[in-house]
Amino acid sequence: MGKNKTILLTGSTGYLGSNILKVLLSKGYEVKILKRSFSNTFRINQYLGHIVAYDVDKIEFRDIFINNKIDIILHCATDYGRKNSNSIQIIEANLLLPLRLLDLGREYGVKCFINTDTILDKRISNYSLSKKQFNDWLVSYKNDLICVNIALEHFYGPGDDKTKFVSYILRNLILKSDKIDLTMGEQRRDFIYIDDVVDAFMLILENVDKYSNKFYNFEIGSKETRSIKELVELMKNMLNNTKTILNFGVLPYRDNEVMECVVDTSEITKLGWSSKYSLEEGLKKTIDFELVNTNNL
């Protein structure tokens, strides 16, 4: 499937989606995006003149498929449940929206649906539960179109949403907050830099023409786990912050907390992908960006 194909992208105003959009356009893909009419487009303003944007609250989804030959649906829209979202809003973004697109894609001859998933266990939160529920639906469409699921570990990078864990901790450390309340921090996670994640998406897209109607699952991670405590202490040391007290153990673990996430990267490795950035390298690039932007707040 060549780069002259048309991609319908959701979540383009978010962190992951905006980074993917930038690379898609640089590689010559034709991109249509779905957004809300009131979405903050600050991440993608420079690209709006090169794409067609549809407001999901103002258009019938079917019209998009009637008026365009969509080859690939790339679903990056996500509600993490962090911004006072209720269960219905989470389900709308993570289950109902992609399911409507998946069903229309099947009806209008879309070749491939690529879903953005999480490694997290479904018991962790409403977010992870809704993601796993859609994954089950995606599997059920595998005979009708190419169904690709991309399950991500904890990704981070410059300019990420301030509610995300790495960005939240970095901003507090840069501002030299008196203290940061944390759990014991024994959970081990695979932290992966945003550019590595986007590279994985691009590689999968470039290989879509080799796939048949089937379900494919790719897990993306750096293959190196660090504890939350190690990560936070590393960031504190990299910033030479001697003021902020890290209050490990003040917060309880979440119900059903997974203490170690294990990522199986074997499928993406078969395509020739590997992570290029170590945690220290990725954090250095992120810190350099945040030092400028946080201090300018």
What confidence score (pLDDT) does residue 123 get?
Answer: 82
Residue 296: which pLDDT band, with cuts at 50, 70 and 90? low
Q: What is the pTM of this model?
A: 0.95
Give pLDDT tens digits for 42-101: 999 999 999 999 999 999 999 999 999 999 999 999 999 877 789 999 999 999 999 999
CA distance 129 to 13: 23
Where are the chain's structural domains?
Answer: 6-152
Q: What is the pLDDT of residue 13?
A: 97
Contacts of 92 (CB under 8 A, 6+ apart): 79
More confident residue, 207 or 124: 207
The pLDDT-based confidence of 3 (bands split at 50, 70, 90) is: low
**CATH number attached to the domain at 6-152:** 3.40.50.720
Residue partners of 139: CB distance under 8 A and separation at least 6: 147, 215
Between CA 168 and CA 166 the distance in angstroms is: 5
Tens of pLDDT, residues 143-153 = 999 999 999 99
Can you tell me the mean pLDDT for 248-265? 93
DSSP structure string for 208-229:
GGG--SSEEEEEE--S--EEHH
